[in-house]
Structure 1
């Protein structure tokens, strides 16, 4: 029996390390340790093989890990010590911007080559950056007299058109592609005669059925 207790010295050291993780504000490595603790609690390390005092401490540690794991997986900022509110808001804003931009691409450029769709997406991003328009994608595309009310437009979200629009939007949002109409802030259909507003602006590209201007 003494030999068995010595052989369990290393698992006990691991459990002591896990207890330290429980006491420290959680990190991703703690989540892995907590998962390991639940495996131990399931019977991988019999408590009967441990000295009485060590077994009691181990069970207490495992209870802490067992209680903490669901909250960690749920992103509970009280348990982890990490405030996820700002990150969640940024993620929600990013998702909303992605949808707003994809709707514009489907509505305005679904019949255009991919470069033409990307030009529209990059134009929206250029407006966000200038400070002359709204400070978000949804704000820019929903400004009166500019694009349209995206909340009132629900294109089908199955099929190639929507998938391409989402991929192009993500590329533009991440800045992952070179500009195809550098500096463009405005455009109109090529079949339309330019108004005086466009005649006073620099023409930077013609892509598909659209002409782009700074």
Structure 2
């Protein structure tokens, strides 16, 4: 069983605080990767739950935005309109793996997926990393299940946008694995956020 899907629930250390982040606003390069093979698809149903409250970033200079907090970075994302497949896949994983976790934990899950896609040890794009057999327990038949359009989904979209734009330096930015409670063999723990432990 993979580290991402261990189902043992336990409490971990509180969220690790991070300072302001200054990053290019341009999309994460992994967002541009073409998906090989059949692209997993999933639909979004409308439950008419209120939108994520949007806030303006703290400062903007040229193509660099500085956010005072991760919450501000998430709140500044436009979650309306059409989303490309990589963003939808990443948001689906955030939703199913960490929707009840703090924002830092949701970002950590996204960072694990992006790190895997860049590592050369897993599939080379977001959707294929998520649907790779045996990696994420919520995947069914190579597909991400349908996601209701609610506040948690909209937040997952916003967190995915922050992750893809590399708009916040999260505590799990070097992690390749996560689980929900116990240390894992020779892996090096890089963060404990909410109910998740992150490893490289």
Place the TM-score, normalised by the shorter chain, in its bin: 0.5 to 0.7
Q: Which sections of structure 1, spanning at least 5 residues, go unmatched? A: 1-89
More strand by share: 2
Alpha carbons of structure 1 residues 91 and 116: separation in structure 2 relative to 1, 3 Å = same
Alpha carbons of structure 1 residues 161 and 138: separation in structure 2 relative to 1, 3 Å = same
Question: 1:26-58: per-residue Cα shift (whole Å, max 9, x none)?
Answer: xxxxxxxxxxxxxxxxxxxxxxxxxxxxxxxxx
2:153 corresponds to 1:162: yes
Q: How does 1:1-214 map to 2 (within 5 A)?
A: 95-147=84-136, 148-149=139-140, 151-157=143-149, 159-190=150-181, 193-194=182-183, 198-214=184-200
Alpha carbons of structure 1 residues 166 and 189: separation in structure 2 relative to 1, 3 Å = same
- Moved runs in structure 1, 4+ residues, more than 6 A? 91-94
Query: What SS is found at the alignment partner of 1:151?
Result: coil
1:163: how far off?
Answer: 0.7
More helix by share: 1
Larger of the two Rg values belongs to structure:
1
1:177: how far off?
Answer: 1.1
Cα pair 2:117 2:123 within 8 Å, conserved: yes
1:151: how far off?
Answer: 2.5
Alpha carbons of structure 1 residues 143 and 162: separation in structure 2 relative to 1, 3 Å = same
TM-score by length of 2: 0.55
Query: What SS is found at the alignment partner of 1:107?
Result: helix
Alpha carbons of structure 1 residues 92 and 182: separation in structure 2 relative to 1, 3 Å = closer
1:182: how far off?
Answer: 3.1
Cα pair 2:131 2:144 within 8 Å, conserved: no
Alpha carbons of structure 1 residues 203 and 144: separation in structure 2 relative to 1, 3 Å = same
Give the Cα–Cα distance (whole angstroms) in 1 for the partners of residues 180 and 153 of structure 2.
Answer: 21
